[in-house]
Structure 1
Amino acid sequence: MSSVVKNVLKPIPKQKLLNLEKLQCQIFRTTFNPTKQRTGAKILRQPLKGQTVTNYYGPADFPSAARIVRLWKNEEYEVVNEDEEYRLDRVEDLKRRGKGAPKKKREASSGNKKK
Structure 2
Amino acid sequence: MAVQCRVFNTTYNPERLRMGTHILHQRLKGASVASYYPPRIGTIKQLRALYPDFEILHDKEEDWLEAQQVARSRGKAPPKKKRTAAESKKFNKRR
User: Do the structures match in fold with TM over 0.5?
Assistant: no
Query: The TM-score by the shorter chain falls in which range?
Result: 0.3 to 0.5
Structure-1-length-normalised TM-score: 0.36
The structure whose Rg is larger is 1
- TM-score normalised according to structure 2 size: 0.43
